[in-house]
Structure 1
């Protein structure tokens, strides 16, 4: 075993070519992000985690059905054009929103070391997911945000080796997390632009 960020695929290692963002590597890194919610340790975030998981499943199903046409996320979306439901296109759109929410929250926490996670996630929610949610879902998130663990406890889990080995230093963990978040933010921005330029979110 190894500290969490060393045990999952980093977004920093997701290949990006002229054709776009590598689908399988992106999905693997997204699986790693899902696990972060287990480290947060709050069942209140189960709604977010389940939503991200469900959208990963939709994108992966499309890849497995048409692997040669879906080796990048951009090609996957383009090749679903014309189909009635476009399940993977909608799933990826929502997946990006969930990833953006998590990314911005942790970037907030990294930028302000005195800020608790509840505040960092609340700020992120305001600028990412809130505008897409109805009154009921906003209430669910209000509860979840208040249930965030203390930042010291969360970052201790990120530094720890679950197998009982030596934990990594705060500096090393910060370097790994910042590289992970910077790459994730760049991928989300690239794909959001792709969706906007191609009007791929129309109808959802």
Structure 2
């Protein structure tokens, strides 16, 4: 297994049942996304990681306040409705948007092995977050896209052994990344449909 996937909880390990998406496992896997942006290594992604961190905190705060009503993401959101402010509902909505961007960018990278990350991430941004951002935020993201590391350097970091051992073969890195992305994509699409169906994305 590639070192990155040994050190974080994969979205493939987040239980998804008819009842919903397991809240705590999902939040733990989201921490791994922050590690992924650390691997990307550019300070230009600071606003992205800050946003993801802040929204994880909002969702976790709701879980801690009402754990028995928040075992799944769906329950957590449902049980916050009717309150004057819905910080967890809004936080999860933006967290999902950030995850959608990350997923789309890396799916592009996986589908086009000759494409540099700056191109893959720009395409991902254009199809996900861009429509929600104003002119200033779009400018910040434009800078971040240009600051993406070279593709070969990023994939080499995913494969590298921090202890100095041999790197993981590319085939295994790609296989694990594909599984991680497939599971993430499934959760994001499921939750986006849930928000849309019940109108939980309204009012923010």
Global fold match (TM > 0.5): yes
Distance in 2 (alpha carbons) for counterparts of 1:163 and 1:58: 35
| CA-CA distance at 1:166 after TM superposition | 2.1
* TM-score computed with the length of structure 1 as normaliser: 0.98
* TM-score computed with the length of structure 2 as normaliser: 0.98
Would you identify which runs of 4 or more consecutive aligned residues in structure 1 move more than 3 Å? none
Count of residue pairs brought into register by the alignment: 203
Secondary structure in structure 1 of the residue aligned to 2:138: helix
Distance in 2 (alpha carbons) for counterparts of 1:148 and 1:193: 30
Distance in 2 (alpha carbons) for counterparts of 1:166 and 1:53: 32
Distance in 2 (alpha carbons) for counterparts of 1:7 and 1:175: 17
Secondary structure in structure 1 of the residue aligned to 2:31: helix
RMSD: 0.8
Deviation string 1:130-178 (CA, Å, 9 cap, x unpaired) is 0000000011011110010000000000001112222211011111100
Secondary structure in structure 1 of the residue aligned to 2:168: coil
Q: Does 1:136 align with 2:125?
A: no
Aligned twin of 2:75: 75
| CA-CA distance at 1:43 after TM superposition | 0.2
**Can you give the 5+ residue segments of structure 2 that lack an aligned partner in the other structure?**
none
Aligned twin of 1:127: 127
Structure 1 range deviating more: 147-156 or 159-168: 159-168
Deviation string 1:93-128 (CA, Å, 9 cap, x unpaired) is 000000000001000000000000000000011110
Distance in 1 (alpha carbons) for counterparts of 2:50 and 2:165: 30
Distance in 1 (alpha carbons) for counterparts of 2:172 and 2:64: 36
Distance in 2 (alpha carbons) for counterparts of 1:107 and 1:5: 17
